[in-house]
Amino acid sequence: MHHIKDHPLRYRLANELHARPFPSLEIPCTAAFLAVKRQYNAVARDRADDVNHLVDLLDRYGAPHPQPGATHYSGQIGRHFLKWEQHAEFVTYSVFTPGLSARPFDPAEFEIFPEDWLSNAPGVCVTSALIRVEPRPDHEKLLHNLKEWFVPESLAVSQVLDDAAVVATDFRINAAGHICISAMVSLGTDKRRIGRIVQRLCEIETYKSMSMIGFARVGHLSDKMGRIEERLNHMMAQISKGDVPADSILDELLQTSAELESLIAESSFRFGATGAYETIVNQRIDVMRESRFEGRQTFAEFMMRRYDPAMRTVASTKLRLEALAERAMRAGELLRTKVDVSRSAQNQALLESMDRRADLALRLQKTVEGLSVVAISYYAVSLTSYLAYPLSVPLSMNKEILTAIVTPPVVLAVWWMVSRIRARVR
């Protein structure tokens, strides 16, 4: 077989598809989940800080370090199993512990993350969850657990993956600061399937929380957009009335357009990320293949009632912002056209004024030229008369007759000379 050179990224890209396997979980067990995000400019953060924070946790348990440049890590830390993943905006820690605590969703389960280690995290907590994974009890006990553990009006519960488990949560933050999630697994469910169920539940909670950041941003944008829209309406009214100079409105309109473009630039990433996170949430719910349990609302129905309206608000705000920018642009084009027409009319009036002035100047020039012919002729006739006076005696003429005789040819000669000079100048 002939050897062909591999693409430099062939193996790296192929291995990337298998780099983040689902955990294999034995029941019963508990999971403590944490997602950490830089509060500002998380995408451009120094990701080495994330790795250093992970290494700090590993050192406390004497666990081996990740490979240089790693974006994921799995391994034992004491009696627990840690799964760490680095994402574009955040990092997640999932710690799985065999067995169950006597108290459901005991805050002590989260003490796997030391308090001082949490306080030194390079970011803030986006979400944290305690997940209780246990064998599915009998029907009465299951209903009792749901009633005791969750708020009924917010409870979402469903059978997933062809009745492999019953999963439930109310998506509420409890007194200890965590979301509580229950997975009651049917007998015979494979441990890899259990791991996939728990992983999907963590992803649903994480991406739901991340996308809601976009909803929070919308509230801040709406106030600014309201003020800009009011200014834009006022400017449009001024344009239609024509009682304010167009140039002054144009300056204000350009400033408003620049402000809108700045808002779009600041929000474009968050809008895009929110849409992507929303898609992931819906996909993760779809792959769970939910079926209704005891007439209760499913995860999909909970999202439809509580989550989807927030996402539609984000989408509508994005469209509103783009529409405002387009409206400002159209108003600017209209105003620029109005200014151009006004300036064209001013230029036309200026040209007409210049034409009138040029015509007056030409008339004045012709008048001056006529007077110059008279003046030059006067002096020329006087000089010619003085030259011709000695001929008056031989010709038997007095001076007046001689002057009258030489005047016409001298005037004609002066006129001809001035005409030649004017023709050469032109």
- Peptide linkage before 28 cis (omega within 30 of 0): yes
Return the CA Rg of the chain. Answer: 45
Q: 3-state DSSP helix/strand/coil percent for the chain, to nearest 5?
A: 60, 15, 25
Question: Which residue do the tokens 């929380």 mark?
Answer: 209
Residue ranges of alpha helices (H) inside 29-104 are: 48-61
Pick the CATH number of 212-349 from 3.40.470, 3.30.1370, 1.10.260, 1.20.58: 1.20.58
29 Cβ partners below 8 Å, 6+ apart? 96, 97, 98, 99, 100, 133
- Evaluate the CA torsion angle 309, 311, 314, 319 in order and state its sign: negative
Nearest to 145 by CA among 296, 2, 326, 249: 296
H helices, E strands: number in the chain:
9, 9
Beta strands in 301-408 (DSSP E): none
Give domain limits for the chain: 20-198, 212-349, 368-425
The model's pTM = 0.77
* pLDDT of the chain, 426 residues: tens digit per residue: 457 888 888 887 787 776 667 889 999 999 999 999 999 889 999 999 999 999 999 999 999 999 888 899 999 999 999 999 999 999 999 999 999 999 999 999 999 999 999 999 999 999 999 999 999 999 999 999 999 999 999 999 999 999 999 999 999 999 999 999 999 999 999 999 999 999 999 999 999 999 999 999 888 888 888 888 888 888 877 777 766 666 677 778 888 888 888 888 889 999 999 999 999 999 999 999 999 999 999 999 999 999 999 999 999 999 999 888 888 887 777 777 766 766 777 777 777 778 788 778 777 777 766 667 676 776 776 777 766 667 666 766 676 676 777 777 777 777 777 777 766 655
- Evaluate the CA torsion angle 306, 207, 297, 155 in order and state its sign: negative
